Amino acid sequence: MFISKIMSRNAVTIDINADISQAREIMSENNFRHLPVVDDSNFLIGIVTDRDIRSVLPSSHITGDNGMEVLKRFSGIKIKDIMTKNPVALSPLDTLQDALILLQKERFGAFPVIDEQKKLIGIVSVRDLLREFINVLGLEEPGTLLCIIVENKLGQMKKIVDAITEEHVSFGSVLVSRYWEKGKRAVFPYLLTQNIAPVKRKLKKMGYTLLDPMDWYMDHLPQND
């Protein structure tokens, strides 16, 4: 789950003295929206996004030949004038969790990844992070999700895991989440089986509450502003 495993290594970069039409071209050619800005020795100095470029252009509707003309008039604008200096960057040993929390805080669509000398070694986008998160959730394996309400005390998970294992069912993933009732947690085991009925019966018999699927998730979690 380290960023070094998630990032793209061949980040397409742009020179600090390039102008915005060059940046625009590189972005549309590669279908990127973020370009790290580096100097001759590959040290990270900034990042420029498609939004930065749009914000200095007179209109966001510049396309086709006419668009190129407009761009030319603004081609005097250099990357160094519009880039974000010293952008938030990740290290290869930061984790997926670090990146997700940072993402929520910083509202960026991509993070450059730098080594200890601040040299650029890659870039990680929201897309990369989501792909990894989908992998963590085990969503690409066929299975069934359950929601079990448990007391927030030691040993509950063991009982659940044991009960499910006794049914010869294996786990794709397990999420544990806050629950609206104090002292309780919602446990979401993702089980790699179609044969879910015996597991449900067993857990109910053990006294666990299985939450109605329509009551899952956010509607009962403490609201976030």
Partner 1 sequence: MKKTGLLYDERYLRHDTGPNHPESPQRLKAIYQGIKEAGLLPKLTLIQARRADLKWIETIHSKNYIKRFEVACGSGNSTFDYPDNQICAETFETALLAVGGILDAVQLIMTDKLDNVFCAVRPPGHHAEYDKALGFCYFNNVAIAARYLQIEWGIQRVGIVDFDVHHGNGTQHLFEDDPTVFYYSIHQHPTFAFPGTGRVFETGDGEGVGTTRNYPVLPGQGDKEYQGLVERDLVPVLSAFSPEVILVSAGFDAHVDDDMSDINLSTQGYSRIMQRIAALAALYSDGRLISVLEGGYCLKRLPELAANHVNILLNA
| Site for partner 1 contains 80 (CB under 8 A) | no
Strand partners, 123: 8, 112
| Site for partner 1 contains 213 (CB under 8 A) | yes
Q: Convert residues 164-203 into a mask of x (bound to partner 1 by CB under 8 A) and - (unbound).
A: ----xxx---------------------xxxxxxx-xx--
Number of residues counted as binding partner 1 (CB under 8 A): 21
Q: Which is nearer to partner 1, 156 or 193 (CB)?
A: 193
> How do strand 14-15 and strand 34-38 relate by DSSP bridges?
parallel
d(C-alpha 22, C-alpha 76), whole Å? 11
Q: Which is nearer to partner 1, 26 or 137 (CB)?
A: 137
Using CB under 8 A, which of 154, 214, 222, 225 touches partner 1?
214
- Minimum CB distance to partner 1, residue 51 (Å): 26
Q: Which is nearer to partner 1, 154 or 214 (CB)?
A: 214
Q: Which is nearer to partner 1, 33 or 200 (CB)?
A: 200
Closest Cα partner for 99 from 5, 30, 175, 12?
A: 5
Contact assessment for residue 98 and residue 113, using Cβ atoms and an 8 Å cutoff: no
Cα–Cα distances (Å) from 162 to 31, 92, 157, 213, in that order, read: 48, 37, 8, 23
Q: What is the DSSP string of 171-218?
A: EEEEEEEE-SSTTEEEEEEEES-S--HHHHHHHHHTTPEEPPGGG-GG
- Minimum CB distance to partner 1, residue 16 (Å): 40
Closest Cα partner for 42 from 70, 10, 74, 20?
A: 10
The enclosing H or E element of 25 equals helix 20-30
Q: Convert residues 82-121 into a mask of x (bound to partner 1 by CB under 8 A) and - (unbound).
A: ----------------------------------------
- Minimum CB distance to partner 1, residue 170 (Å): 7
| Site for partner 1 contains 139 (CB under 8 A) | yes
Using CB under 8 A, which of 25, 142, 166, 209 touches partner 1?
142
| Site for partner 1 contains 144 (CB under 8 A) | yes
Contact assessment for residue 118 and residue 87, using Cβ atoms and an 8 Å cutoff: no
Give SS3 for 148.
strand
| Site for partner 1 contains 212 (CB under 8 A) | yes
Q: Which is nearer to partner 1, 80 or 200 (CB)?
A: 200
Q: Which residues bind partner 1 (CB under 8 A)?
A: 139, 141-145, 168-170, 192-198, 200-201, 212-214
